[in-house]
Each structure stands twice: as structure tokens, then as C-alpha cells.
């Protein structure tokens, strides 16, 4: 029966993740509702047709892996997926969420374990038991996990220079999602139950068969002093109340008039405190953590409520204040819809080809001149005419030099050119996520298109503008303006590896991102001086810059 619950969760998860909406007769409908209806139908059929024996759940799923662990893992996955989607709305790149999870999750588990151990010191007799080498990790305190997670996120956000309030807005729904699904793990363990049920017939009428049958607690699942019988499913009550809290968070954050960034964590602390205080008061005393005759969970719940209220009040007098929806709207308004790339040194590693092409020309026209690395580097960015004009004012000779350069460049192209690492995967990702892609380069069109085809990346671009399409060279924005007009770009970004590219983008009044690969870090300082909107040293980091 519990497999059906996984089917339910997975179907809802997939529905929202991959097909958030479908259009029916001109109306957009959330596919999650269809997934939920199908999953509930599956559960209903199994619940009504399976025999009683098939409904009983054992704590171990398979290969000594507990259902509890699987539910927790599913909760983590769903919390991360929601966190990434929320992060994009807030302008936070996905790597921040993924890396934060890798740091926060193990520390939170450790915090939960230490919290449990702290209030059960009499139950542990060795360090091996504390760290789980003896008896496993049976015993975790969720309050400890919450405290450690919030502390870790604050420190991590400061280190990554991400506003803490934005991180809180991602963390709060994740907490509730994890706890909603985690409680089903308690259900599979036949723990966290409430008082003995007095009216079994009514209970059976109200509850599905699989819940009713698994709430018959007996044998080793019984706590000392209790007798076998049907007990209240506190896991279900707490999970459903947390689901209400999650829905409230998702609804209230849309209230532009009073919900501010960072408020969600305060709401979570208050809601969690209230819900936990209610559900914990019904649990058997022998099952809960105690300190001085007081239930730790209830004491901490009250503390969480007080902290949540104080936090919401104090943050309105101290620190930055921004309405949550103002941030969402600003990110949406400023979201890049078109990414334009330079070619040489940006998409394709042409440094060797370009250098050898200049060397070839200078050996023919100025054999006595030896080009050093600094001089060769100075040729990257300016037009050929501008570069050769430094050495002669004879226009006819400049034309011959350009002709010889291009002939050598075209002949040796395929031998010396290769795509930069990560370019293909990045273009594929951006295309999949709806970005319009274009290339603008001063190279002649046929050579430019050949280079894109040679690198197997031509298919990803909606428009290619080369030297044959323009009358003015960079940093004049003519080429960029052509692309912006033809693609109807609302917010475009130009990615290039030279100062000229950055100036060109600025002249077109669009955002710019400089790229200096790790094999050419000397260029990074020059690009930085040009003050682009972003700087990356690997192509895949462009995805982070775009907030993906």
C-alpha cells in the first residue's frame, strides 16, 4: 500500500516539475491537479481491493533500508526542487541551492542527533552509541535540525553574498515540505502516535483502510505502560497542519501590501511552534524528550513562537525592508530573454589560429618584426583594419594584409580551432530554457557560419550576424542592434572576451558579461576595468549569472 503513496507523491512531483501547466480550450490548468487526482484514484483502488495483510507496513522497505530514510530523502529532493524554482524567481542561481544543501543537510542531521542525545543522556553509555556505531541513529530531534539549518544558512549566505532574507524565503517552504513527508516516515515506523482511540468504528469510517490498519499498535511498537489497540495518527494531523501552513506561505507571499522578503521564516517558526505544541500535547509522555518534567518539544515550540514574533517585529525596524512581490516583479522585469555571443575567444578557442594568422602576415610584410605575447594579445578585440593600421597608413597594403590574413585563417581554421569546454552544454541548456540565442562577430559570414558548424553549435542559434551584415566595426553597436530588432529582444546580454565587446554592449545599452577562460586569465583584469555587468571564467557559469 505504501508504494501507492510513493506513486502519488512522484506523480504530483513530476506533474508540477515538468508540465506545470497545460492548455485546455484556451485555459491554462495546473497539471498537478490531474496528477493528484490520478494518484488518489490509485490509492483508493488499492485501499479498497487489497486484503488486510497487504496493507500492513513494515519499517524496512528493502535491503535493510527503512521507509523512514526514503521518505526523508524524498522530502529533501522535493524541497530542493521547490527551492531552485523559488530561487529563480528571487534571482538566486541554482548552484547556491545545491551547494547549500550539501553543506546544510549533513550539519542539520548532526544537529538533530545531538539534540536528541542531549535530552537523553541516560540512554547512552558510550561515544559509539552517540555517533551511531552501536544501535544506529535511532533518535533525532527536529528542533536541533531547524536551529542548525537556520544558523548554517545565515553563515553560508553571508559567505556567498546572497541576501539572507532571500535565503530564508527559500528555506521556509523547504522546512515544511520536509516535515510533511518526513511524518510519513514516522507512520511507517509505527511511532509518534497519540491517545488510544475510544470509538474504533467511527475512526475506521473516517480513515482509509491503510491508515486504520497500521494504527493498530502492538508488540514491540508499544511504549511501556500501553496496551495493544488503535491509536490516534498524530503524524497525519501534524503533516496535514503543516500542509496548511505550506499553502498559507505560498498564498500569503503574494500579498504585496504587507509580506516582506524574509517574513516566511518568521511565519514558519510561529506556525511550526503552534502545530507542534498542539500535536505534542497528545503524545504519550514516555515517548517524548523531557527536561525538568517539561516536554522539550513543547518548550521549544513556545520559544520558536516567541522568536518568530520577535523576528517579524524587529526586522521592520532593523535592516533592509523590501516587499517580497517587489523583488519577484523586479527579477521578472529584468530577466534576460536573449543572449548574444561573440565568436573568437568566447565560443571557440581561436587564440592559436588568430595568433598564427597575424604571425603569417607579419612574416610576409615585416619579417624583421618579432611579435611578442603582449603584442599578439593586443590584436584580440580590435578590427583587422584597426590592428594593421598601427603599422602602416597605406590603405592598399592594409587591404592586402587583411586578405592574406583571412586566406591563412580560413585554410588553417579546422586544424587550429576547437570549442571551449562547456560551450555546447551551456547552449543546449539555455535553448531548452527558452532563451533566444545569437552570435555577433566581425568575421566574414561564411567563415563564421563554418566555424559554428565545425563546432557543432550552429543549430542552437536563432540568428547569426557577421562582418558582411554591418558597415561599422565594434565597438559600434550596429550588429547588436540588428539582432535586438530582428529577435525582438526585451532584455539582451552580450557575452564577449574583449574590452571592445564590453564597450560594444554598453553602446547598445544592453547588459554585458565578460569571459576570460582560465587558460587566459591575464585578460580578466582588462575586462574587469571595462566594468561589465558580470565576469565568468567558464562558460557554464553564465547559467549562474542568468539566475538559472
Q: Which three cell numbers stand for residue 258?
A: 504587507
Q: Which three cell numbers stand for residue 412?
A: 588553417
| Whole-number Å distance between alpha carbons of 311 and 314 | 5
Dihedrals phi, psi of 317, to nearest 5 degrees: -120, -20
Contact (CB, 8 A) for 334 and 321: no
Half-sphere exposure of 64 (CA within 13 A, CB side): 1
Please give the full DSSP string across 121-166, using - where no structure is assigned. GGG--SHHHHTTTTTTT----HHHHHHHHHHHHHHHHHHHT--HHH
| Whole-number Å distance between alpha carbons of 162 and 154 | 10
Contact (CB, 8 A) for 226 and 130: no
6 burial class (0-12, 13-18, 19+ CB within 10 angstroms)?
middle
Contact (CB, 8 A) for 298 and 277: yes
Helices (H), 437-494: 445-454, 478-486
- How far is Cα of residue 133 from the mean position of the Cα atoms in its chain? 34
Return all residues near 141 (Cβ < 8 A) that are at least 6 apart. 112, 113, 115, 116, 118, 119, 289, 296
Residue with cell 565597438: 475
123 burial class (0-12, 13-18, 19+ CB within 10 angstroms)?
exposed
Q: What is the dihedral of CA 521, 527, 529, 530, to 10 degrees?
A: 180
Active site residues: 342
Q: Which three cell numbers stand for residue 187?
A: 507512520
Q: In sequence order, what are the beta bridge partners of 441?
A: none
* 3-class SS of residue 462: coil
Return all residues near 68 (Cβ < 8 A) that are at least 6 apart. 59, 182, 185, 186, 188, 189
Amino acid at each position: 500500500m505504501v508504494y501507492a503513496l510513493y506513486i502519488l507523491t512522484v506523480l504530483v512531483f513530476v506533474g508540477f516539475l515538468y508540465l506545470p501547466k497545460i492548455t485546455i480550450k484556451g485555459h491554462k490548468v495546473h497539471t498537478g491537479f490531474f496528477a493528484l487526482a490520478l494518484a488518489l484514484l490509485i490509492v483508493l483502488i488499492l485501499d479498497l481491493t487489497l486484503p488486510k495483510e497487504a496493507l500492513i507496513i513494515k519499517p524496512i522497505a528493502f535491503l535493510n533500508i527503512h521507509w523512514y530514510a526514503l521518505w526523508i530523502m524524498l522530502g529533501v529532493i522535493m524541497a530542493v526542487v521547490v527551492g531552485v524554482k523559488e530561487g529563480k524567481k528571487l534571482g538566486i542561481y541554482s548552484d547556491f541551492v545545491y551547494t547549500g544543501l550539501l553543506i546544510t543537510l549533513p550539519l542539520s542531521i548532526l544537529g538533530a542527533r545531538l539534540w536528541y542525545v542531549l535530552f537523553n543522556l541516560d540512554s547512552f553509555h558510550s561515544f559509539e552509541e552517540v555517533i551511531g556505531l552501536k544501535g544506529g541513529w535511532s533518535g533525532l530531534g527536529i528542533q536541533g535540525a531547524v536551529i542548525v539549518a537556520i544558523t548554517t544558512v545565515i553563515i553560508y549566505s553571508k559567505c556567498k553574498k546572497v541576501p539572507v532574507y532571500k535565503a530564508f524565503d527559500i528555506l521556509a517552504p523547504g522546512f515544511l515540505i520536509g516535515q510533511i513527508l518526513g511524518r510519513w516516515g514516522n507512520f511507517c515506523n509505527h511511532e509518534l502516535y497519540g491517545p488510544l482511540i475510544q470509538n474504533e468504528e467511527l475512526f475506521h469510517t473516517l480513515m482509509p483502510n491503510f491508515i486504520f490498519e497500521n494504527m493498530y499498535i502492538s508488540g514491540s511498537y508499544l511504549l511501556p505502560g500501553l496496551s495493544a489497540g488503535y491509536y490516534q495518527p498524530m503524524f497525519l494531523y501534524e503533516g496535514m497542519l503543516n500542509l496548511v501552513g505550506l499553502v498559507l506561505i505560498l498564498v500569503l507571499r503574494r500579498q504585496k501590501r504587507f509580506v516582506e522578503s524574509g517574513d516566511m521564516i518568521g511565519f514558519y517558526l510561529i506556525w511550526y511552534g503552534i502545530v507542534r505544541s498542539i500535536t505534542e500535547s497528545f503524545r504519550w509522555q514516555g515517548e517524548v524528550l523531557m527536561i525538568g518534567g517539561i516536554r522539550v518539544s513543547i518548550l521549544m515550540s513556545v520559544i520558536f513562537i516567541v522568536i518568530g514574533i520577535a523576528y517579524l517585529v524587529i526586522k521592520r525596524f532593523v535592516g533592509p525592508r523590501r516587499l517580497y512581490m517587489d523583488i519577484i516583479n523586479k527579477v521578472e522585469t529584468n530577466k534576460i530573454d536573449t543572449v548574444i555571443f561573440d565568436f573568437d575567444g568566447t565560443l571557440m578557442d581561436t587564440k592559436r589560429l588568430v595568433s598564427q594568422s597575424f604571425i603569417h602576415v607579419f612574416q610576409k610584410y615585416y619579417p624583421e618584426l618579432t611579435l611578442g605575447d603582449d603584442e599578439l594579445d593586443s590584436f584580440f578585440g580590435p578590427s583587422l583594419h584597426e590592428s594593421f593600421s598601427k603599422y602602416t597608413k597605406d590603405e592598399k597594403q592594409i587591404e592586402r594584409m587583411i586578405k592574406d590574413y583571412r586566406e591563412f585563417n580560413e585554410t588553417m581554421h579546422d586544424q587550429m580551432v576547437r570549442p571551449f569546454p562547456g560551450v555546447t552544454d551551456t547552449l543546449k541548456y539555455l535553448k531548452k530554457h527558452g532563451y533566444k540565442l545569437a552570435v555577433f562577430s566581425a568575421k566574414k559570414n561564411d567563415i563564421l557560419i563554418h566555424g559554428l558548424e565545425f563546432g557543432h553549435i550552429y543549430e542552437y542559434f536563432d540568428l547569426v550576424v557577421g562582418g558582411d551584415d554591418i558597415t561599422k566595426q565594434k565597438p559600434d553597436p550596429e550588429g547588436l542592434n540588428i539582432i535586438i530588432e530582428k529577435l525582438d529582444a526585451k532584455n539582451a546580454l552580450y557575452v564577449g572576451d574583449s574590452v571592445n565587446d564590453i564597450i560594444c554592449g554598453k553602446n547598445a545599452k544592453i547588459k554585458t558579461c565578460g569571459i576570460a577562460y582560465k587558460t587566459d586569465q591575464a585578460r580578466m583584469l582588462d575586462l574587469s576595468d571595462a566594468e561589465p555587468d558580470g565576469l565568468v571564467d567558464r562558460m557554464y557559469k553564465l547559467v549562474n549569472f542568468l539566475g538559472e
